[in-house]
Amino acid sequence: NAAEQTIRMPKLRIKVSGSMRTMTGAEHFAAIRSYTATAIRQGNNMLDALIQAVTGNPWIPATT
């Protein structure tokens, strides 16, 4: 199930560390995780998508 796979990593992170340290950190984590999950679902390489984002040329999903 795609929804379960998407939430697995944040849940594991909370389980290991006890919690997210700040709300801002949790929001940043969620934004990055959402970006990479969408890139993967669209058939892109996660590392390539992150490199493009960091270099100022972010991958943008195609609109349908």
Residue 63 lies in a domain: no
How many domains does one find in the chain?
1
Residue 28 lies in a domain: yes
Domain extent, residue 7, equals 2-55
Residue 61 lies in a domain: no
DSSP string, 30-62: HHHHHHHHHHHHTT--HHHHHHHHHTT----PP
Report field, pTM of the whole predicted structure over 0.75: no
Which tokens hold the place of 25? 């950190």
Mean pLDDT over all residues of the chain? 79
In this prediction, residue 27 carries a pLDDT of 81
Residue 40 lies in a domain: yes
Residue 6 lies in a domain: yes
Chain segment 47-60, per-residue pLDDT in tens: 999 999 999 998 88
Give dist(CA 37, CA 59) in Å, integer. 12
